[in-house]
Amino acid sequence: MQTVHVGVGPVSFDDLVRVAREGASVVLADDALTAIDRARGVVEALAAAETPTYGVSTGFGALATRHIPTEMRAQLQRSLVRSHAAGSGPEVEREVVRALMLLRLSTLATGRTGVRRETAQLMADLLSHGITPVVREYGSLGCSGDLAPLSHCALALMGEGEVRDADGTLVPAADALAAAGLEPVELVAKEGLALINGTDGMLGMLVMAITDLRMLLRTADVAAAMSVEAQLGTDRVFAAELQDIRPHPGQALSAVNLTALMAGSAIVASHRTGDCNRVQDAYSLRCSPQVHGAARDTVEHAATVAGRELASAIDNPVVVGDRVESNGNFHGAPVGYVLDFLAIVAADVASISERRTDRFLDRARSHGLPPFLAADPGVDSGHMIAQYTQASIVSEMKRLAVPASVDSIPSSAMQEDHVSMGWNAARKLRRSVDGLSRVVAVEVLTAARALDLRAPLTPSPATGAVVDLLRSNGIAGPGPDRHLSPEIEAAVDLVQSGAVLAAAESVVGELA
């Protein structure tokens, strides 16, 4: 069992993935416990004072003007969590809930929130025991943070609501805690607010999307290399001297990949000289590194923003020295913007992938390949409808690329009069990343069939390794029509698992 230590500093991308997707357990580091205890002392001193302090001895949001007497503050915390756990719709994926819990714990560990160590420890224990609160898809406006999703998690700490246990069984939170030998906490001053006021859900989804897109964009380079090769395109346009005169870093890296992936191809060599009368390849082939590279650069910008957010302590109010200060750091705009940027680039990379695929199916543009790559055109339809599937996904991805972060619906009696909609941006990005993997998988599937149809000419060792991977996983080569959906799904699995990328890298080494 892997273990991730959460201290005062930020968790890493890798640690988040280990906890969210691989089920790693979580331990609070000693520096975190020290920071938590110090901040709690500040909050307790303020709670005992006669002067009201927002978030400690007052109501919240538009109700912040009410001073809450000491004997009612525990009820205040319970009421806050219960009322804010107002999500609706399908359950959010386990990995998303685990990611947001880890990130909330990371903020608690900074010593800026004022919770008790037993409250933070219980959140770590839920992660380590695989207990996942049920969080509903709808409810967050991304300001003040992801209130509703985090409230569903806080509810479980109180022993209320529903959770999934380590086996995925839906059980009452109280039963799951008891089965794990854990005691629910009774929240005290400031703790309810500290547990629910953060950008953790949208940030967790951003980090996982960046992780996936980094892999998928290198896989898109593999797919593009297969398509350029099988379309009898030239690799000369990817030469370093041509890329250097437009020095975008992502473009250069993609071009390096394409050159390496096509190296040693007998298919490319066959038309490097001689009777080839084409002056230029189509944009979808020739401009692959420009599109893939711009997407890479956008992903890395998003990673910079995510890194800053991981290093942040998002709460309101926060403990600063010996006082508690109100602030606006919970606003999700920085995260919401880049979530929307990534949905745009995912849609465009999918769009150019679909265009490369479509060229294989038109005999007027495929340079000698049979219509639709069919064994007996007219009797057989080949990959005709596989491209329809791509087109359907790309169309949806274009709709998903419409930004959520430009919208704002005021709430809380106009106290929260501008919100980020970052959670919504994250939810649609997850669907978009899945769509990109499926579009790229169909391109790989189609390009592999085209490469086979160029026999006796052989593909490059790297693209040939991808073809061999498909064939060894039950995806047959050219032939009469057969049930295509299982082959598409098998290709999707190979793309999403990283197997397609690994096959190419087994020949050329790690791609840039």
Q: What is the pLDDT along the chain (512 residues), one digit of tens a residue?
A: 799 999 999 999 999 999 999 999 999 999 999 999 999 999 999 988 888 888 788 877 667 778 888 888 888 899 999 999 999 999 999 999 999 999 999 999 999 999 999 999 999 999 999 999 999 999 999 987 899 999 999 999 999 999 999 999 999 999 999 999 999 999 999 999 999 999 999 999 999 999 999 999 999 999 999 999 999 999 999 999 999 999 999 999 999 999 999 999 999 999 876 555 566 899 999 999 999 999 999 999 999 999 999 999 999 999 999 999 999 999 999 999 999 999 999 999 999 999 999 999 999 999 999 999 999 999 999 999 999 999 999 999 999 999 999 999 999 888 888 999 999 999 999 999 999 999 999 999 999 999 999 999 999 999 999 999 999 999 999 999 999 999 999 999 999 999 999 999 999 999 99
Q: Are residues 92 and 133 in the same domain?
A: yes
Determine, yes or no, domain membership for 60: yes
Q: How far apart are CA 379 and CA 298, in angstroms?
A: 45
Is 217 inside a domain boundary?
yes
Q: Which of 182, 198, 214 is the last residue of a domain?
A: 198
Q: Does 385 fall in a domain?
A: yes
**Catalytic residue positions, numbered:** 54
| Residue that finishes a domain, picked among 183, 198, 213 | 198
Q: Domain boundary at 150, 179, 198, which?
A: 198
Buried b (16+ CB within 10 A) or exposed e, 414-432: eebeebbbbbbbbbbbbeb
In this structure, are 209 and 139 located in the same domain?
no
Does residue 253 sit in the same domain as residue 338? yes
Task: Report yes or no on whether pTM surpasses 0.85.
Answer: yes
Buried b (16+ CB within 10 A) or exposed e, 198-230: bbbbbbbbbbbbbbbbebbbbbbbbbbbbbbbb
Residues 194 and 212 in one domain: no
Rounded Cα–Cα distance for residues 107 and 450 (Å): 52
Residue 140's domain spans which residues?
A: 3-198
Do 310 and 287 have their domain in common? yes
The count of structural domains within the chain is 2
Tokens 């069939």 identify what position? 449
The gap from C-alpha 426 to its chain's centroid, in whole angstroms, comes to: 8
Would you say residue 249 lies in a domain? yes
**In one letter, which amino acid is 294?**
A
Statement to judge: residues 192 and 214 lie in one domain: no
Both structure tokens of 255: 């071009």
Task: Please tell me the distance from the alpha carbon of residue 243 to that of residue 289, in angstroms, as a whole number.
Answer: 9
| Residue 102 CB partners (closer than 8 Å, separation 6+) | 4, 6, 11, 15, 16, 19, 20, 26, 127, 204
Specify if 421 maps to a domain: no
Indicate the angle between helix axes 461-472 and 499-508, nearest 10 degrees: 140
Shared-domain flag, residues 329 and 264: yes
CATH code, 435:
1.20.200.10
